[in-house]
Structure 1
């Protein structure tokens, strides 16, 4: 397709966005159009038809980049709410990952009462990935900022652009970039909260389909058969018990159980164990965690150990997987207007590649403004230390931009 037609398609998308944003229309109130990143080179458009019992979503991208197709389908999904709790999705979606598993994009069926990905999972419809569409975590971004190879980011043809910042307790901000130069900014928790549920087994998600491959590069590239299940129950003695399993045809099968319990004012503890079978053999994983939070102090820690043969969906093809990964976050409220945050992360792979990171940040509110300072250090020989200082002050309400990065328009009579 020639460049003139490419330009015309982008112009039509931008014109449609501008028309919807500025011209009164009469249309069914359950129809919405959203444009994302309207620019001369890239734009994604989402059309949604919503009903009381569900709706249909279709998202595609238009690009002037000759390395990719002019029009690329990103996601198509139909959602139907069976009752107040249970929901059925047909089409493209993201799998649940439980306490220890891996989230992936896939196309097929998803049924359950709880589909929300962990908040530390990095999800973007802007960024293209290579191979199986495994979604990395914020902790993966920490290590990718130091070592650009042998990480989940690298295997997905992603990179962390520039240095990370720690804007607050258990929070990391970074810019991720794909192989085509497109970027997206993320602010996510380094460590996800331990999730507790009420008594009963009313919290579950079941998925079956085929994994996405080369997301945002090809429209309809699907890989082998995929299945996953996460069932979380509230048990006796205040226990939360979770079972999670993952299956990718001819590559890996993994299953594990997690248990969590609140220990009064002391905090919340959790432990998970899992086993896997893949071409590398049978392996095992152990993960423990502890959270404590009060009005002045919060502390989170996670420690993961796995055998050399353990594999999940994110490292099936890895020759030297992770042997151990430890994460810790501490937040202290110094005063009403000042807080201090400390983050520590260390990872060792089975070929003895070690990464150690530590970051300290302080944030102070000064009237309507805020002053932040972040100092980071890596024990890697080729990385070193970094210091960032930022000052933010709003002078006036920001003007509305006609070509904002994210605009959502409801078409109503």
Structure 2
């Protein structure tokens, strides 16, 4: 063969074609630059004489490669590399596209082995490269796993009618016999639900000889209302008799009128409380198992990089969680968390509200139709500011009276318990008053404690006061309890309540409860009136679940 020298002549040789000519398979073609050895008139038959079976990439000084990249166990597609001096090189832009965070001032191109902590496995026959890099060198997206089901079943409405009933009878001293029946008649279709409840009572007194008065009975209508719901928005509209929405520091009022507000019961599968988040990172694709108080809550897989698991726990109060990672090499890593689940908080960005307008219902359960003359309005709002704080507010107004207040619930760290506080004020025909309340609670699967106080200053009034008693001047409660596996549950509480122009009430109580087997449960309760021992009481009860439904 006659060889003539040229400055530089680039000749692209598809090696797949050449290897097929030599009965050898390779998956990716090379672009090979041959200098000073290529003849302009070389024939295909001469090319076939090249000994490609003995080809070794390390013998080539400068080789452009397009390799199938696997980065920390995840496929990253094809990327451009350069092979020279027995090492892989890549442009800084290529590495940044793969997700690498390069130090400032690094020279371009970059020798891969010069990066600290990196592991490279280059396979020239398969034209693949596997790279394992520390997570601190990579800019990987956080994988968020939400274990809650996002399925929303579509509600269906078939027209129908039903009757609910509850029958109750007593035989008291002096041979007094009483029978009562609570009934609800309900009709429903696609337009909504119409419901009406009533209470029927029958009473009779007899003497020792069995003679007595005739039965005396009456029926009283309780509540009648029509409601319709919007499932996707979790909103219910109700017209008729209703109870105004209330917070822990406000009182409900029975109205006849219109109500619109949030109804979380329309989506019972949705969790409204903040979801505990468990954070971690995996260098390689890994299996992850989440345990809360020793019980498995979630099992799945995560790719390489940081991840976050949001899950609805099956417990309340303080607890511990373990996150177990098992990577592709079988290595285990355990992460421990302290957490506190608070059902009183709302998820960040979630709102709960209600608005009512109507007239106050009077003599409920005594007369069927007795409503006040003054219009009353009420509004309640709760909002999850973040997963550690929820704000709330309440306002109500009627003729000559206005009342408003705000409150908030705080989660103290990951296992510090819950603190709540509120402050409200009222103005009633020139008389002003304020009400304050505070609460702290903490519990785990064994121990619980609760402290609560509420008090008023001045002439504090709300809408319910216009038709009944005023709120307590002062109320205090302290409670604690402990659970054991063998002896059951024990509890102790102290309560103090003071109303205007009434004697302060103070009493303490203890209780015990235990389950015996799967069908029998026992309970004991003792109340001590600290002002009058004649009001002390004790009770012992047993509950037995019958077999065969």
Asked whether the 8 Å contact 2:228–2:236 carries over to 1, the reply is: yes
| 2:443 is aligned with 1:293 | yes
Residue 61 (structure 1) shift: 3.6
C-alpha separation in 2, matches of 1:61 and 1:50: 22
Which residues in structure 2 correspond to 1:276-287 (within 5 Å)?
276-279=426-429, 281-287=431-437
Distance 1:279 1:377, change over 3 A: farther
Which residues in structure 2 correspond to 1:257-268 (within 5 Å)?
257-263=406-412, 264-268=414-418
Higher RCO (CA < 8 A, seq sep 6+): 1
- Relative to structure 2, which stretch is displaced further, 33-42 or 197-206? 33-42
Asked whether the 8 Å contact 2:461–2:470 carries over to 1, the reply is: no
1:310 matched residue in structure 2? 460
C-alpha separation in 1, matches of 2:245 and 2:443: 26
C-alpha separation in 1, matches of 2:364 and 2:470: 25
Q: Give 3-state SS (helix, strand or coil) of 2:369's partner.
A: coil
2:242 matched residue in structure 1? 93
Gaps of 5+ in 2: 1-157, 170-177, 204-213, 266-341
Show CA shifts across 1:79-116 (max 9, x none): 11134211111111111111311112111111011489
Residue 371 (structure 1) shift: 2.9
Aligned mate of 1:47, from 175, 185, 189: 185
Aligned mate of 2:541, from 373, 390, 393: 390
Residue 43 (structure 1) shift: 2.8
Gaps of 5+ in 1: 1-27, 117-192, 399-413
TM-score (norm 2): 0.49
Distance 1:62 1:317, change over 3 A: closer
| 2:518 is aligned with 1:380 | no
Residue 297 (structure 1) shift: 0.9
Aligned mate of 2:366, from 212, 217, 221: 217
Q: Give 3-state SS (helix, strand or coil) of 1:388's partner.
A: strand
Q: Give 3-state SS (helix, strand or coil) of 1:200's partner.
A: coil
Q: Give 3-state SS (helix, strand or coil) of 1:383's partner.
A: helix
Distance 1:58 1:370, change over 3 A: closer
C-alpha separation in 1, matches of 2:533 and 2:351: 50
Asked whether the 8 Å contact 2:497–2:505 carries over to 1, the reply is: yes
| 2:149 is aligned with 1:34 | no
TM-score (norm 1): 0.64
| 2:413 is aligned with 1:275 | no
Q: How many residues align?
A: 294
C-alpha separation in 2, matches of 1:386 and 1:45: 33
| 2:192 is aligned with 1:58 | no
Asked whether the 8 Å contact 1:194–1:270 carries over to 2, the reply is: no
| Root mean square deviation, CA, Å | 3.0
| 2:352 is aligned with 1:203 | yes
Residue 339 (structure 1) shift: 0.7
Structure showing greater Rg: 2
